[in-house]
């Protein structure tokens, strides 16, 4: 389907460095066309020193909004007017809505991750959940799951970072060093395992968890989406576990941003299909 860009077309962009491999353009542009919306989504490579000028450009050109990816999720905050409560808690933004020059920051990484669980029938409340990693994605996941009432153990190779995250989250959270002994102990008591690290990204032989620690009654989530089926997920499936791949978080965080910009319900199935197509280089 083709469409024409005019002076009335709503513009949404992605700010990051790099942006060449982002999945957002294929998902959003397909969704705009599917719903017949006069919008277009464009990735823009923005260097750290130019971020303030880029945000000023959003206001000046009255673009509808933008996504923020590495390395700008924290740095963008001083240039915004308002933050929603989750973005405020996390100190990180990935989606911004422009309402007549008022820029509001959101974090749909957190809410999108939660939705990816709920859509699979997995309610985190009261569950024991092990999170691997303490970086930006793991932070978003930890906050939203704690808010939902889960009990968490965060495992990270540099335990100080895990302890800092546990203090920030502040309730029902433990932090321990990520090694095989602690991993075995954590998984013995956990119902859900989440890989919030980049281990396995574009390296199909790598996994953060030995296969022998996985079991049938465990839910295993990997936020890595390239490859879609990581070694961790293959091993988990072989053990009979329920698995959720990284495409789900990717799609749901994108869908929630789409809805904030357009006020329309996102065509999630289409966005998932387009993301998978791009990741697997299908035609």
The residues carrying an active-site annotation are: 73
Closest CA to 157 of 133, 178, 184: 178
Q: What distance in Å separates the CA atoms of residue 135 and residue 163, rounded to the nearest whole number? A: 12
Rounded (10°) CA dihedral 95, 98, 101, 106: -40
- Give backbone dihedrals phi and psi of 66, rounded to 5 degrees, phi first: -155, 155
Q: What distance in Å separates the CA atoms of residue 252 and residue 249, rounded to the nearest whole number? A: 5
Listed in sequence order, the residues at least 6 apart from 91 whose beta carbon sits closer than 8 Å to its beta carbon are 74, 77
Mapping DSSP to helix (H, G, I), strand (E, B) and coil, where does residue 211 land? helix
Longest dimension (CA), the chain: 60
The pair of structure tokens assigned to 143 is 């906050």
Q: What distance in Å separates the CA atoms of residue 114 and residue 98, rounded to the nearest whole number? A: 25
Q: Are 40 and 29 in contact (CB under 8 A)?
A: yes
- Give backbone dihedrals phi and psi of 201, rounded to 5 degrees, phi first: -70, 120
Q: Please spell the DSSP secondary structure of 40-85, one letter per residue.
A: EEEEEE--GGGHHHHHHHHHHHT--EEEE-TT-TTTTGGG-SEE-H
H helix or E strand, kind and range, residue 278: helix 268-280
């Amino acid at each position: 389907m083709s469409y024409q860009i005019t002076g009335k077309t709503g513009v949404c962009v992605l700010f990051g460095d790099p942006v060449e491999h982002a999945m957002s353009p294929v998902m959003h542009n397909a969704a705009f066309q599917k719903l017949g919306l006069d919008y277009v989504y464009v990735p823009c490579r923005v260097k750290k020193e130019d971020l303030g000028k880029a945000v000023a450009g959003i206001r000046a050109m009255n673009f509808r909004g933008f996504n923020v990816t590495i390395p700008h999720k924290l740095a963008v905050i001083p240039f915004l007017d308002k933050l929603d409560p989750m973005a405020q808690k996390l100190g990180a933004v990935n989606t911004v809505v422009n309402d007549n020059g008022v820029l509001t920051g959101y974090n749909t990484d957190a809410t999108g991750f939660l939705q990816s669980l709920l859509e699979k029938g997995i309610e985190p409340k009261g569950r024991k959940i092990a999170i691997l990693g303490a970086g930006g994605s793991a932070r978003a996941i930890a906050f939203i799951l704690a808010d939902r009432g889960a009990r968490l153990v965060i495992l990270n190779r540099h335990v100080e970072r895990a302890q800092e995250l546990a203090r920030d989250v502040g309730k029902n959270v433990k932090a321990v060093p990520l090694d095989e002994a602690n991993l075995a102990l954590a998984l013995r008591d956990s119902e859900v395992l989440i890989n919030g690290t980049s281990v396995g990204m574009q390296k199909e032989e790598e996994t953060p968890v030995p296969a022998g620690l996985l079991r049938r009654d465990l839910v295993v989530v990997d936020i890595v989406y390239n490859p879609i089926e990581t070694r961790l997920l293959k091993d988990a499936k072989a053990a009979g576990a329920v698995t959720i791949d990284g495409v789900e978080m990717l799609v749901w965080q994108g869908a929630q941003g789409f809805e904030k910009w357009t006020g329309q319900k996102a065509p999630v199935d289409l966005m998932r299909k387009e993301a998978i197509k791009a990741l697997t280089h299908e035609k």
